[in-house]
Chain A
């Protein structure tokens, strides 16, 4: 591999995809991007794109970008899921299904990586950006430019993963790339390197966001909003941010060690020269377990907001909810070995982590009960967010019980890496994380766009997801107990598994129908927006401060920063019929747009591509580019602009007028 001679490193024509499925995927990706470029050019929107979106530091816009990218990635991850189900439903006995073994392995690796890092984390950070500043009565996050940089680093990681579809290949080592399979000897191609560097880049962005939102909530709450008066969603963001801050450095280190093994010939995980592959498994799960709680805790926060609003009651047991969040945050760092009970540790170690795993179910149970107690004797309105919640409560509890079963090491020895495990974690992630964030998007959509999404289509979507999920994963619990291992691309007909796999396939199709209804919902709602536009600032009769602003929210959030005295601050404002501010407006200073984040991420992307393909010049240019962008940005002098009081007054007056008209 004379990669140093050529300037292009390992890159050559063979990097383009060879099999039909990958070619199809690559082609649709390229066509999609070409379509976007054509549309932007035709409608002459490049300047608008740059000014309004690429250089923005407004968390509301950044939140929308996160969610758009995450939903697009949901389609890609979902396509992977459809392919896997199709393969496992048909690849029996003499038949070998629709995918080659190698492609299947890349598909399930891409599926997991994309869903966790780019769908889950994307939706999560999207909601952080949209909701936290509003709920704490602030104008912005603590570090707006850092925030923008976080988003663009996430996008750069996403771009690398998608680029692997067109140039090169993706990892075939699963979403966590255990060595020795992920070492150079057994994965000599660029796939694992794409995996490493896209996650490394996106991971730095996540870490920065964790710090950002932690400082935002600690330092920027409005007057009177003590920590124990914050909306519960903000508590979930605070605890999640702590977990992000302390878990992601472990991921950074682990990815680096694997990269050092692969690129510089080190021996962290290569047994022959004193490495220890088990250390990788240990470290990656020391990050990985907190990660799954990072994903789900904000979803719990969303549910807390939704259940209270749609039961017309304040959340039951606020203090115990906060305590539960804090307990889960700390405990999530004490259970990670349950992901490798079977790796060979002794009974004492397994027992300790088994007990800790069972313990962590307790605070989660507290939360479930509190949500139900909130609903009890409330006046419940079954809008689509509540339907997502009902699906969650039912499914998450069942899936959680499966988790407690597996916390018992002897049981886990039977079902580890079987489809029982796969069913469990999909239940947690889909009914917990995905339902929660989709419900949140529906719930908060009118705040940012001035009109609600079509409720009927939303309900169809929710029901399809719930029924589809039961059909897709119910059989997997059974298959796991029947002995079916995960990641199988073929099995013998004698196993008797095919019928259940077919049912699972139908389930995924129904989920796909749900996704179709959601796309239709967006399309129809946006198409009909002029008719639906009601600018209602408080369409669901909410309880928290975000509803105290006009819809859509003006760039400065609040004309006057609110002062609160209790929980459910907006509800209190409504009870006391507190009038909206209509005089004594002041000048408002906000941070200016900047391309700094985009540049840093762009150079990081280039550096990543350079390392992957051993194009060292590109790595150097990318690295220097990142450094220069940071230094040049630090020399920027006038980084804020002012909205004069008169203009604030004008914006507010127009907003009020719109509302009364509607």
Chain B
């Protein structure tokens, strides 16, 4: 799951620039608030779930690691 998320982030949001799992994803100018929304709708589609707005927070979306932890929790539940 982590690899798939990373692949989407690097290819679709960062124009191919690599990023570490724990690097702050949102420090890059390439991911703005519209980019975050694109990522959210991709994840919703990919994992067939609804991500409520109150979950789109710094705790869940700061880096690829936290995003996969959040999703693992959601998918497993």
B is bound to A: no
A interface residues with partner B (beta carbon < 8 Å): none
Binding site for A on B (CB under 8 A): none
